[in-house]
Structure 1
Amino acid sequence: MPPGKPRPPISSQPISGRARIMNFHFFFMGSAGDFFPLFRTSIALLSRGHSVTFVASDEYVWIRPFIEKTPISLVCINADTRFEQGEKPTFDVGGHRSLSDLVEPLVSAHFRYVQDTYVPGNTVFINYIGYVGVKFACEHLGAPYVGVLYAPNPLAETGIFDDDSLAKLSGALQRVASDNHISLVPTVDLTWILSSPYNLAYFPQWMGNLGESVFHAGFPYPVKNDATLPGEVVVFLAERKGEKIVLFTPGTSMPDPAFYAGIVIEACVQLGIHCIVVSHQIGQLALQPEWHGRVLLLGQIEFEAIFDKVDLVIHHAGVGTLSEALRFGVPQLVKPEFWDQFYNASFIETRNVGRAVKKEAFTRETLTYLIDDILTSDDIHQACKKMQVECLNQNGAVISADFLESILVHDKVASQHDPVVETL
């Protein structure tokens, strides 16, 4: 199939009785919304005997506790001497108009990684679609490639890549092509970036239908829910049984989370309700005397352990947090910042499962009104329960694992290199 031309999605059918272990390589950005869909899919693949490698663009320390509990291999290409690319990009989206500053230095490293690890007939590369080096290498080698979409409005609509960013990436790709004596180089534009032989969307069609060329797996929930609550959370909840509790999580990409956490806490205290704050940067938050007994600060917690025990989730409108709240039927109050978050916020309001507030209006007075309005709204709670039923009808982690397993069986490139695949 010509590079850049989307292939209609194959049917998602579990493949049993395989003659070999399949190798899946996942490339991801550093946010929780990027990591957990792939991680949960990987757990499903590992349970079927396959091999999984995660390729990180930086040393994301927070993911290691999850990875280390599994047989997943983790490669940090900036920490690996084979893929050293000089200055390490950092995941600080609040200071970037686009992602080119993050992905441009990785083009050559990703290209070489694919070259070094591709084994025809049993290797699939699953890629965040902005990493053009992975896509280019797969097209050059004829390797099975899957472009991943996390939200219904892809890059073309979020404005992540402007003309200057695309020009930088095009130049980086040209240099890679020259270094590897490749004459055919695609034009790096949004059409090429968004086109893949296979496209996997980690959200259901009823949230946003991207067309027949995209396989909508649905929200990727944990294959097995074995998350447990830390002791301090158990005590906090037990002592406040029957009282309203709000959870605030700014995600891994919200700028200045301590500032916004303070506003949320002030609103909760004014309403006489309790608040749990989950953030990697809570150390920057100074506890006030009037908050005593009403606030619990946590660095990290698994959402599946806590969301069914709170009455409202306030967050950044990331699709990962959104999907977890829908799964547990919890109302949401969101403050979108960039990218897909505005679409997600609109979805929340359209489906009446919560409210959205602009960051300029994110004040104690506004939040006091909105929190009270949401907690006392029967319509919102009924809408949340309805959406919960829809979410529980499918698990995108299992469905996406079925989809990825099927690729090598159906992919002509794989069968040409390895006739054994045709008999599976």
Structure 2
Amino acid sequence: MAPAFPVQLLPAAQSGLTPPVRHFILRTDCGGDCLAGRGQKMHFILSTFGSAGDVFPNVALALELRRRGHQLTLATNPYFAELIESYGLAFEPLGTVKNYHACISDPNLWNPGKSFAHMFGFLKPVLKRQFDIHAERSGENVVGISSCMGFGALMAQDAHQIPVITMHLQPAVIWSDIQPPGLPGMFGPKWLQRIQFRIGERFVIDPVVCPFLNAWRVELGLPPVKNIVRWWNSKYGILCLFPDWYCTPQTDWPQPVLQADFPLWNHQSDAALADELQTFLDAGDPPIVFTPGTANAHGREFFAAAVQTCQTLKRRGILLTKYVDQIPPSLPSSIAHFNYVPLDRLLPRSAAFVHHGGVGSTSQGLLAGIPQVLMPLAHDQFDNAQRIEKLNAGASLPATRFNARRLTDLLKPLLSSDEVATVCQGYASRLAARDGIALAADAIERRVGVETKT
């Protein structure tokens, strides 16, 4: 999940210190200091925090880079260890499964005014381990690839000159004065949003992070940092895993920008659908699919509204969540519950998609070519909701107003609109190649000076 901030002020700008040229850096045509000669293989350390929507793209990228002959280490919460190791990837734990469950069980995770401090409280104990994972390999041809909350990786970059690429799955975390992302708590013309952003940056975000980071930096003999949501973008490069038609790169974004496309990878996409699911899909019209997100353990009201909406519209439905206690105790035969289904296998056989608005789910809805209704709660979800509306691919309904009546009113015209159907199919055609991960690997190899061979 992308981090959520009080007032949802999520900027980006120059970050860290430029990695000094190391003994194996060669000047080539990669647009700057490159870390390898043509054909030389690298050791990439991919690290992330969050839900399946954050981990899946890292697994996909690790698999692609490994296919190209590079060495890979993937670091995240051990809640995902079994999944990662099932693909034969080297795994380093960050935190504990107990802490993962404690983080997602607290409703503050979904409160826009409290979620950033909540998340950072769980990150602090593991950031030094993230630092060590990089520092222990400082004598190798190592490049870190980390999410925007990868403060431990960025500290290793500053302390040990280990280059880090910040990987952004969503545009919401890259602030632009020219075209601000759509974030809750911000309103009015762009000049007013700039003021709101800088107030939040100075008085809300930095006070949460800077005391911890700067005390640590004193221990490492490093100068203090501020403007954390600018510093979190590595000056070595930021990798954007979304297409330019979803969000046009702005001239005031930190540079260099490595542009790719949506990763569009799901665990078990190559496996056969469960017999129970296949039987349900074959038994009637395409269903409406509902999920509040893989890490949302507080979706009881969401699913109650989903069931009522399906019955009002006389539509079939599928409810997706691992947290069974969220599901109404008695479902009609026209509505089914499943713990997990790869969205790229399910959504193309569905009529519409109602979800929380994470960028992974949003992109899977676009790939499937079906209308979406987003219920943003926190993090990057409000920005994704605005983009889906601008693309005319669906609508949004904030959690504070989410109920069956309003959801029915939104879904009914979307399901019957030929214009929306045509638009959605157009986006599906754009994404049909599903080459986001390959493009990302190409961009990374160009940045580090490795010859790209796909």
Q: TM-score range by the shorter chain?
A: 0.7 to 0.9
1:150, 1:315 → 2: CA distance? 17
Q: CA deviation at 1:341?
A: 1.0
2:294, 2:226 → 1: CA distance? 32
| Structure 1 contact 23–123 (Cα < 8 Å) conserved | yes
> Equivalent residue for 1:200?
239
Alignment of structure 1 residues 214-293 onto 2, 5 Å: 214-222=257-265, 226-240=270-284, 243-254=285-296, 256-288=298-330, 291-293=331-333
Rate the CA distance shift 1:127–1:185 in 2: closer, same or farther, 3 A. Answer: same
Q: CA deviation at 1:284?
A: 3.2
1:5, 1:119 → 2: CA distance? 18
2:235, 2:341 → 1: CA distance? 35
Deviations 1:85-141 (CA, angstroms, capped at 9, x unpaired): x99972452253314223333332222222113333x21101111222210211221
| Structure 2 contact 287–318 (Cα < 8 Å) conserved | yes
| Structure 2 contact 17–157 (Cα < 8 Å) conserved | no
1:254, 1:311 → 2: CA distance? 23
> Equivalent residue for 1:108?
128
1:97, 1:409 → 2: CA distance? 38
Q: TM-score scaled by structure 2?
A: 0.78
> Equivalent residue for 1:127?
146
Q: CA deviation at 1:259?
A: 2.0
Q: CA deviation at 1:334?
A: 1.0
Q: CA deviation at 1:298?
A: 0.8
Q: Which amino acid aligns with 2:260?
A: A
| Structure 1 contact 326–387 (Cα < 8 Å) conserved | yes
Deviations 1:325-371 (CA, angstroms, capped at 9, x unpaired): 11121111111112221111111111111111122321111222222
1:87, 1:221 → 2: CA distance? 24
Alignment of structure 1 residues 81-160 onto 2, 5 Å: 90-91=103-104, 92=106, 93-94=109-110, 96-98=114-116, 99-120=119-140, 122-154=141-173, 156=175, 158=183
Q: CA deviation at 1:35?
A: 1.4
Q: CA deviation at 1:5?
A: 6.0
2:134 counterpart SS class: helix
> Equivalent residue for 1:210?
249
> Equivalent residue for 1:18?
39
Q: Which amino acid aligns with 1:219?
A: F
Q: TM-score scaled by structure 1?
A: 0.83
Rate the CA distance shift 1:119–1:259 in 2: closer, same or farther, 3 A. Answer: farther
1:130, 1:199 → 2: CA distance? 13
Answering whether residue 204 of structure 2 is matched by residue 186 of structure 1, we say no
- Count of paired positions: 393
Q: CA deviation at 1:76?
A: 1.3
1:100 counterpart SS class: helix
Q: Which moved more, 1:223-232 or 1:137-146?
A: 223-232
Q: Which amino acid aligns with 1:310?
A: S
Question: Percent identity among equivalent residues?
Answer: 22
Deviations 1:238-276 (CA, angstroms, capped at 9, x unpaired): 222xx1411101113446212211210111022221111
Alignment of structure 1 residues 19-58 onto 2, 5 Å: 19-20=40-41, 22-56=42-76, 58=77
Unaligned ranges ≥5, structure 1: 81-85, 411-420
1:228, 1:17 → 2: CA distance? 40
Q: Which moved more, 1:138-147 or 1:188-197?
A: 188-197
Rate the CA distance shift 1:24–1:298 in 2: closer, same or farther, 3 A. Answer: same
| Structure 2 contact 201–227 (Cα < 8 Å) conserved | no
2:370 counterpart SS class: coil
| Structure 1 contact 259–285 (Cα < 8 Å) conserved | no
1:127, 1:309 → 2: CA distance? 34
> Equivalent residue for 2:94?
77
Rate the CA distance shift 1:78–1:6 in 2: closer, same or farther, 3 A. Answer: closer
| Structure 1 contact 155–161 (Cα < 8 Å) conserved | no
Q: Which amino acid aligns with 2:91?
A: L
2:425, 2:224 → 1: CA distance? 50
1:280 counterpart SS class: coil
Unaligned ranges ≥5, structure 2: 1-13, 21-28, 176-180, 184-196
